[in-house]
Chain A
Amino acid sequence: MTVLYVILPLALVLAAAALWAFYRCLCQGQFDDLDTPPVRALHDD
């Protein structure tokens, strides 16, 4: 079970990586408009 000492910090590093990815998306403006995309998703074209 001592593997937990390694795996847990590793899981946190993964979480940090996900946060960083989210941050990148945020900077690209993907979350600037939160109203139109749900409406747009209903259109098939």
Chain B
Amino acid sequence: MITAELPAQHPTPIPTPASNLPAAAPRCRCTHCGLDVPTGLIHQNSTIQFCCNGCQTAYQLITSGGLEGYYDMAGSDAAPGILGSRPASVDADADSQLAEFDETVALSLCRPCTIGQRRHELIVENIHCGACVWLLERLPRLAPGVLESRVNLGRQSLTVTYSPDRINLRTIAVLLRRLGYPAHLAGRTNVESVRRNEDRRFIMRICVAGAISGNVMLLAFALYGGVFSGMDAGFFTFFRWLSAALGVLSLAWPGAVFFRSAWTSIRARVINIDVPIVLGLLAGGVSGVLNVILGRSEIYFDSLTMLVFLLLVGRFIQHRQQRGALDSVNLLHSLTPRAARLVDGDSVRTVAAESLRPGNTVEVLPGQSVPVDGLLLDAPRPATTDIADAAEETTAYLDEAVLTGESHPRLVHPGDPVRAGTVNLRTPIRVLATATGQDTLAARLMALVEHAAGNKPGIVSFADKVGRHFIIWVGLLAAVTAAGWLIVDPDHPGRALDNATALLIVTCPCALGIAVPLVFAVTMGRAARRGILIKSGQVIERLAGSGTVILDKTGTLTRGQMAVVDRLGDPTAITMAALVEARIAHPIAQAIARLVPEDSEQPTSHIDHVRYTVGRGVIATVEGVSMLIGSPAMATEARAIWDDHLRSEADALAARGLTPVAVVCDGHVRALLGIGDPIRTDARQAIDAMAAQGWSPRVLSGDHPSVVRHVAAALGIPLAAATGSATPQDKLTAVRTAQSTGPIGSRRVIMVGDGVNDAAALAAADVGIAVAGGAEASLQAADVYMTSHGLAQISALVDASRRAMRAVWWTLWASLGYNVIAATLAITGHIHPIAAAIMMPASSLTVLAIAARFRTFPATAGNSAAPADFLSAIRPSIAPKSASASPALAGAIS
């Protein structure tokens, strides 16, 4: 089943370790993760190869515990894209990721267990398949002191029980991280137990409804038998009484859900799908009981109890699917860290973030997010004597993308304000808290989000909309039937009543109640396997419409990371520049350094006299050549000789919204680099595809207007639809404007964004889509969360939604066909409970078959197992998580 469930990610078969001989395959794959091994790291004549130290550590850990079976299992299960989970790089800032596992913080989150032991629930990234479960549940073999470990796939969590004398939680977390499963401490919430009880009640209801339905069916069969071959009057009455008793029980206990929902909807004067359902149930129940008491006419309790059972199953599928997506989003992410490092005199201790007060000083390590609003204090001097670092000793780079949407890290100096939720990128910093908890900017923005979400225009779900028409038509038909029979046969008013009731029962919109949630659940399940988590089925309805799609630039249209977009001039000079910049910890320098791959075999050049000026450039001597790499202004000041071509190109680069960098060798400008945030290759195609689907694109970004204009121009978006320097309020206004103007029927708005500054707009939009690495606020506000960047996913989702809605219409027409036949029989007075008992399951089966077979996402190689898709759709979404989140993003997540 697992093989069929996860094929989407495995277009290519992955060799098992035994067949992974470098001699046999020109592309050598890592024994642990199955990715290609860089040429420099291949060991000749070895069957075991690793692409990085992380994989090697993970492999050694796994084999040391005698758990090699993991690889066979992962290979045969074809785990997503890769064999083993790719370990997060075991890097220096891993330490900062583990702050939350500090004893004092962890102790407060301990779960009940035997005395002398401790139990914690950890939310673990990258659990996707049977092999993951197998390995993680064998944790006691790898870590002595761990007594038990149990995985919950639905919650993506691991419950570990350990003995605190022998091992501590931090060690376990380090181990999990090395194995490629970064763990986070699950918060203790009351919501959890409330939900658990809710789930249990749901299952109990289904079970009771099923048991009653089965028993009533048996009685009904005996009664139907009696119709054809005669039956003792005593048994006839007895069976009818038993059926009535069980039927009433089914309506009153498990069926009460529908009565309650219908009552709420009537009181709110918004008719939902439950109203026609309840009408049918009520008509059947009341007339059935009366008929049993009076000993006349037919009863329909078999169909009614079956209806209750099937509808409850439909509800349960819907409920679980929605919850699964919500959980995966909420449990993993939080905007501000749970633990903080409080500076107390000379010592630093870890405390819970809630306990911080204004006036406290906190330390924030690189890769961590800032827990408070405050002012930057002098950072402690780094231990290294690196020249580049020394020049930066009192400054810090903060990634404020979650708050401002700005992709460039901000340089902050002591005394500058620092916001909670921003990520510290380079050196450890100390922050004097001025606002904490609910008073921080991030918390206030969250409040704005909740407000926007609360004021979202009410959108009626598809089923409810159809249900509203349905009840009018069925009510009319029933009245006409009763009136007609009274005229035709005035001597038997009972017959008119019987036929009208029969009509209400047989036309009960069972298919709507089951098919719509099921089609949505199948779509949501398939989307989840592509890394798209949909929070509710209504999103699919809205995406199938048309309107405006508002795109945030960073991370959606562009990669969200600085890179060299354009280079001109001498390639040798550029390579030399890259080698120099590799020593500097500035985002632009790093972008240039990436031009030379780390593992490529470059002759080690002799680099001397590196001097670095913040915000301007770097001067160094390489192999005796004096080099200057910096802004054109710096080059000019250093009296470098420009040729006319390069000088005009420098201006052209700046006009394109790129940052020009001049490479000067011995006083001559030899090359020019344009640094920017490169546009994704798939963006143009996806935008065109979405435009063809009826969604006109707009770009709205917090970035500089000239940058935004150039991105829009490159993508064929009209300049009028591209806006830069947009504030959160601007974005919200833009969404509201698009919703209230334009042709009727295409006023829907999809908002794509990732920062807190987008959150209010995400909440206000008809469909808010948050992309990976975003802040908690945007995730909570959004209706869709995508674990990978890129527009292609969004356009595929829109396409899938259209197909899903088509499938919904198909199921609707199919069930309507059955209803027309049944209604005709009822109106003409030829209906019998047997006909209803046959037609109801037949209609449900047709609907289920359609729901199971429709196509959603374009099929990828080997992904044609529709029945398995269908089965897995019933489970909550298990999202494949991106294995290679950047350290900055990982910091934002933890």
Contact = CB atoms under 8 A, between A and B. Distances in A.
B215 interface: yes
B153 A35 contact: yes
A32 B133 contact: no
Interface stretch (B197-205, B380-388, B853-861): B197-205
Nearest to A38: B1
Contact of A34 (B154, B235, B242): B154
A32 B238 contact: no
Contacts of B106: none
A25 to B, nearest CB: 10
Interface in A4-37: 4-5, 8-9, 11-12, 15, 18-19, 22-23, 26-27, 29, 31-36
Given A19-B207, A38-B1, A8 B153 contact: no
B: interface residue count bin? 20 to 34
A43 B151 CA distance: 14
Contacts of A4: 235, 238
A39 B200 contact: no
B140 interface: no
Given A15-B215, A36-B151, A1 B204 contact: no
Interface residues of A, number: 26
Contact of B133 (A15, A18, A29, A39): A39
Contact of B204 (A8, A9, A26, A34): A26
Contacts, number: 65
Contacts of B196: 29, 32
Given A8-B242, A12-B215, A26-B204, A39 B2 contact: yes
B818 interface: no
Contact of B152 (A18, A33, A43): A33
B378 interface: no
B208 interface: yes
A31 B200 contact: yes
Contacts of B73: 43
B129 A39 contact: yes
A12 B337 CA distance: 56
Given A5-B238, A8-B242, A35 B137 contact: no
B130 interface: yes
B878 interface: yes
Interface string B130-160: 1001100100000000000011111100000
B153 A39 contact: yes
Contacts of A32: 196, 199-200
B232 interface: yes
Contacts of B1: 38
B211 A35 contact: no
Contacts of B208: 19
A26 B203 contact: yes
A29 B413 CA distance: 54
A14 to B, nearest CB: 10
Interface in B151-182: 151-155
Contacts of A36: 133, 150-154
Nearest to B874: A34
B876 interface: yes
A19 B253 CA distance: 14
A35 B242 contact: no
Contacts of B468: none
B27 to A, nearest CB: 30
A1 B235 CA distance: 9
B130 A35 contact: no
Interface in B859-892: 875-876, 878
A33 B154 contact: yes
A40 B137 CA distance: 9
Contacts of A5: 238
Contacts of B242: 8-9, 12
Nearest to A39: B130
A9 to B, nearest CB: 8
Nearest to B138: A45
Contacts of B215: 11-12, 15
B238 to A, nearest CB: 7
Interface string B188-223: 000000001001100110011001000100000000
Contacts of B246: 12
B312 to A, nearest CB: 15
Contacts of B878: 35
Contact of A35 (B152, B203, B204, B235): B152
Nearest to B134: A43
A25 B842 CA distance: 33
Contacts of A27: 200
A40 B134 CA distance: 7
B145 to A, nearest CB: 21
B211 A43 contact: no
Interface in B220-266: 232, 235, 238, 242, 246
Interface of A: 1, 4-5, 8-9, 11-12, 15, 18-19, 22-23, 26-27, 29, 31-36, 38-40, 42-43
Given A4-B235, A35-B878, 20 more contacts: A1-B235, A8-B238, A12-B242, A12-B246, A18-B211, A19-B207, A19-B208, A22-B207, A26-B200, A26-B203, A26-B204, A31-B200, A32-B200, A33-B152, A35-B875, A36-B133, A39-B153, A40-B130, A40-B137, A43-B133
Interface of B: 1-2, 73, 129-130, 133-134, 137, 150-155, 196, 199-200, 203-204, 207-208, 211, 215, 232, 235, 238, 242, 246, 875-876, 878
29 contacts: A4-B235, A5-B238, A8-B242, A11-B215, A12-B242, A15-B211, A15-B215, A18-B211, A19-B208, A19-B211, A26-B203, A31-B199, A32-B199, A33-B153, A33-B154, A33-B155, A34-B875, A35-B875, A35-B876, A35-B878, A36-B150, A36-B154, A39-B2, A39-B130, A39-B133, A40-B130, A40-B133, A43-B73, A43-B133
Which 5 pairs from chain A and chain B are nearest by CB? Answer: A35-B153, A35-B154, A39-B130, A36-B153, A33-B152
